[in-house]
Amino acid sequence: MPTIAITRAVSSSLGYCELTFIDRSQMDISKAIDQHKTYRNLLSSLGVELIELTSADDMPDAVFIEDTAVVLDEIAIITRPGVESRQNETQAVRECLRNFRPVNNIEEPATLEGGDILRIGKKLFAGLTGRTNLDGIRQLQLITANYGYQVIPVPVKGCLHLKTACTFIGNNTVLINPNWINPDIFSGFELIEIDPFEAWAANTLKIGNSLLIPAGNPKTGEILESRGFKPVEIEIGELQKAEAGLTCLSPVFEY
């Protein structure tokens, strides 16, 4: 079954993106575009089929397309982003995902962003953040219960999304920054803590047997290697000025 990733072009207004936990700094848009292209090429080299949606000036954060949808094996759920500036991003994503899955929607007053949803098998860990509220988590629960999913709310503090703080890296293992979430929530899983000086390292992207990690996290890379993983670094530093994570850059699913 082919693996598909939907990406969205870097908006020329990315410099006006939302920021939650870091200060704004000068952004080089052409460098951000190059890094996005490298990311796409890497996915393509791993056998992923890519679809790219266009962006627009009034969507500074549209490149972080994963926040607009939660794609499960059975259905896609179009989210309702927790900031107004991102709510018009969902329409094009809904149209696109209709080609692959029956589509459900998170409805007002709920808010929920894909970056807050970590799926491990039939468990959906749902970050409770400034972007995802309890209504959003309840709606996710109602929509997915029919398909046998268990939704587990996770308080998050200090970063943007749940997946800024942890990601599933395969082998029953979660890579985690314990400063931003309580590791106890993952009882039953193996945990690997990132190096404490590499706060961005917990957001990785697993594509098949490959584990992509953001460049600039050598100590966490060594920790992962010592535990039998073979991380592949990718540079997304310019996109990180907009609080990017590797996972935010596309919903990835099989079809």
Side chain identity, residue 214? P
Q: Which of 4, 17, 78, 97 binds ligand GLY (CB under 6 A)?
A: 17
Side chain identity, residue 7? T
Min. distance of Cβ 22 from ligand GLY in angstroms?
9
Site string for ligand GLY, 18-57 (x = CB under 6 A): x-x-------------------------------------
Q: How many residues does the chain have?
A: 255
Min. distance of Cβ 97 from ligand GLY in angstroms?
19
Q: Please indicate whether residue 161 is annotated as part of the active site.
A: yes
Q: Which is nearer to ligand GLY, 116 or 198 (CB)?
A: 116
Q: Which is nearer to ligand GLY, 24 or 230 (CB)?
A: 24
* φ/ψ bin of 253: left (φ > 0), alpha (ψ from -120 to 50), beta (otherwise): beta
End-to-end CA separation in angstroms for the chain? 6
> Is residue 200 part of the contact set for ligand GLY (CB under 6 A)?
no
Number of residues counted as binding ligand GLY (CB under 6 A): 9
Asked whether the beta carbons of 179 and 219 are under 8 A apart, the reply is: no
Cα-to-chain-centroid distance, residue 140 = 16
Q: Which is nearer to ligand GLY, 66 or 198 (CB)?
A: 66
Which of 16-24, 100-108, 175-183, 202-210 is the region at the interface with ligand GLY (rule: CB under 6 A)? 16-24
Looking at residues 146 to 165 of the shown chain, list those that interact with ligand GLY (rule: CB under 6 A).
160
Looking at residues 166 to 195 of the shown chain, list those that interact with ligand GLY (rule: CB under 6 A).
none
Min. distance of Cβ 64 from ligand GLY in angstroms?
5
Q: Which of 4, 61, 175, 203 binds ligand GLY (CB under 6 A)?
A: 61
Q: Which is nearer to ligand GLY, 7 or 173 (CB)?
A: 7
> Is residue 66 part of the contact set for ligand GLY (CB under 6 A)?
no
Min. distance of Cβ 243 from ligand GLY in angstroms?
4
For binding to ligand GLY (CB under 6 A), which residues are involved? 17-18, 20, 61, 64, 67, 160, 242-243
Active site residues: 161, 248
